[in-house]
Every structure is written in structure tokens, then in C-alpha cells.
Structure 1
């Protein structure tokens, strides 16, 4: 069956239930987690997140007050600790300038918000889209590796990197922030089950479907 983006989401939701993504207790935890997860697995990122939580309670101002060497030690389990520490300081400092008032920050920058996020150290296109979707409630499609793998399995060709899918896939206007968040979570949960190994996709409820993109 050929599916639209909306039909794909509805089929995944019907078969999998709500994703519950992003699993976190606060938006600040999502922000920090989105930086720590870069170029590593969740186990390593979670180790660093736990250390930061135990030391600072994930309170941004307490993280910013840490000496650089201490922050490096806490971030180290996530790898690339110098770059990620710098990214945390950059993003949290920028948010502090807006008093962590996410709706107000969104309103201030409007259509230029993604550009502002990309200008921050350590914020690539995927992290920017995660922050737009989960922090600023801007429904955005996150073209991560699981999404590219899924869409390739559904017959979409030429998906070589993040931009190759991001420029081709925009969410329908009917997608609310909650739906966009859930859709990303469902894709990643689907990938964990059916892409290891990739041949397991043929056992999934999407086997035989294609995507109209």
C-alpha cells in the first residue's frame, strides 16, 4: 500500500501505541540529552546525564557555574567531552539570555529560530530540529538515521545524509507539536525493533508498503 506521511504516522500509532517521546522530566533535560546523545549511544549519553543530574540537578545555571574541568569530567562518558561541554555552555548561555522562556524565545525569533539555533556551537541540523520540535513546540520532521532507513525501506531513494531527507520531507499542516514529537519517537522505537538487523523489516507491519514523498 502506498502511504502518505499522515497515513504512515496513523499506521505506526495504531500498531505501536503512543511513543512517550522524548523521555525526560523537563525541557532542560531534553536539551542536555540532545547534546549528549550526539555521535554516541543512549547508554553513554545517559551515564553523563546521570552524573550531571547528581551534581547539578540539571539546573542550567548550576551547570554554567561549573569549572570547565569539572564539566569535562561529568560529560566525559558521552564522548567528545570538550566539544559537548562547549555546546552545553553555548546553548544554555543563549537560553539564559531569554530567561529560559521558550514561548517568548520562539516568538522573538519566529521563522529565524532554526537559523539562530544553528549558529550556536555544537548545534547541527538534527539537534536544531530536535530542539524546535521538543523545546519550542514547532512541528518539525527530524530526518535522523532511523528516519532515513525507514523511508529507504519504504521505497524512497537517494537518502544519503540528513539534508537529503530534510529538504524533501515537511510535515503536513495538520501535525500538531504533540504529533510531530510522537512521530519521531515512533520512528526511532520502530528502528530499534526492526533495523537490527535490517532484514527484520520484512517481518514488520510496514513490510510491503511504500511512501509517497
Structure 2
């Protein structure tokens, strides 16, 4: 069956239900999680996130008060602890300039917000899009590894890196931010089930479907 982006989302939602993503209790926790998950798996990221919860309760000002050594120790289970520590500090330092007023930040930067995020240390394309969707509530497609694998299985060729997919996907105009959040969660939850090993995809409810971009 040939599917549009909207039809793919609807089919995944119907078969899987809302995943409730991003799994976090605050936006500060989402920010920490988005950095910790870079270049690692959820198990390692969760260990570092748990350290933040225990020692800072995700209070942004408390996080900024941590010394470099304290912050690196908290981040260490997620790997790349020096770079990720700098990224956490950079993001929360930038947000603190605006009193963590996400609406104000959106209004201030408008369409250039993504470019501003990419200027922050440790914020690449994927993390920027996660922040846009989950922190600033701007519907954005997150072209992560699971998305690239899924779309490849659905017949989209040439998906070699983040931008190779991001440049080709445009969410429907009526796509809400809640749907954008769910779409990312659905894709990642689908990937956890059907991409290990990849041959399991043929057992999924999307086997035989083709995506129209």
C-alpha cells in the first residue's frame, strides 16, 4: 500500500497507540535526555539522566551551579562526558538569559530559532529538531537513525545521513505539535521492536507498504 506521511502516522498510531513521548516530567529533563542520548543507547543515557534527577532534580539553576568535575561525573555513564557536559552547560546558560521563557525565545528568534540552537556547543541537527518539537513546541520532523531505517524499508532511497532525510520530509500543514511529538515516538518505539534484527520488519504491520514523499 502506498502511504503519505499523514497516512503513515495514522496507521502507526492506530496499531501502536500514543507512545507518550518524550518520556520526561519537565522540559529541563527533556533537554538533558536529548543531550545524553547522543551517540549512545537509551540504557546508558538513562543512567546519566537518573544521576541528574538524583543530584539536581532537573533544576536548571542547580545544574548551572555544578562544577565541571561534578557535571562530568554525572554525565559519564552516557559517554562523551566532556562534550556532553559542555553542551548541557551551554544550553541552560543560553536559556537562562531568557529566564527559561520558551514562548519569549520563540517570539524573539522566529524562523531563525533553529540556526540559533545550532550555534550552541553540542547541538547538532537532531538535537536542534528535538528541542524545536519538545521544548519550543514547533512541529518538526526528527530524521533520526530509526526514521532513516524505516523510510528506507518503505522504499525511500539514498538516506545516508540526517540531512538526506530531513531535506525530503515536510510534515503536513495541519500536523499539530502533539502529532509531531507522537510521530517521533512511534517511529522510535517501532524501531526498537522491528529493527533488531532488521529482518523482523517483514513481520510488522508496515511490511509491503511504500512511502510517498
Determine the structure 1 residue equivalent to 2:49. 49
Give the match for residue 179 of structure 1. 179
The corresponding residue for 1:169 is 169
Q: 1 CA distance for matches of 2:19 and 2:52?
A: 26
Q: Give 3-state SS (helix, strand or coil) of 1:170's partner.
A: coil
Q: Distance in 2 between matches of 1:19 and 1:70?
A: 33
Q: Report the 3-state secondary structure (helix = DSSP H, G, I; strand = E; otherwise coil) of the residue aligned with 1:77.
A: helix
Say yes or no: does 1:80 pair with 2:47.
Answer: no
Show the 5 A alignment for 1:114-193. 114-193=114-193
The alignment's TM-score, normalised by the length of structure 1, stands at 0.99
Q: TM-score scaled by structure 2?
A: 0.99
Alignment RMSD: 0.5
Moved segments of 4+, more than 3 Å: none
1:53 Cα deviation after fit: 1.2
Give, in angstroms, the shift of residue 141 of structure 1: 0.3
The whole-number CA distance in structure 2 between the counterparts of 1:188 and 1:49 is 19
SS of structure 1 residue aligned to 2:76 = helix
* Counterparts of 1:54 and 1:18, CA distance in 2: 28
Q: Give ranges in structure 2 of 5+ residues lacking alignment.
A: none
Q: Deviations over 1:7-50 (max 9, x none)?
A: 00000000001111000000110001100110011111111111
Match of 2:110 in 1: 110
Q: Confirm or deny that 1:94 pairs with 2:94.
A: yes
Kindly state the Cα deviation for residue 170 of structure 1 after the two structures are TM-superposed.
1.2
Aligned residues: 213
Q: How far is the alpha carbon of 1:103 from its aligned partner? A: 1.0
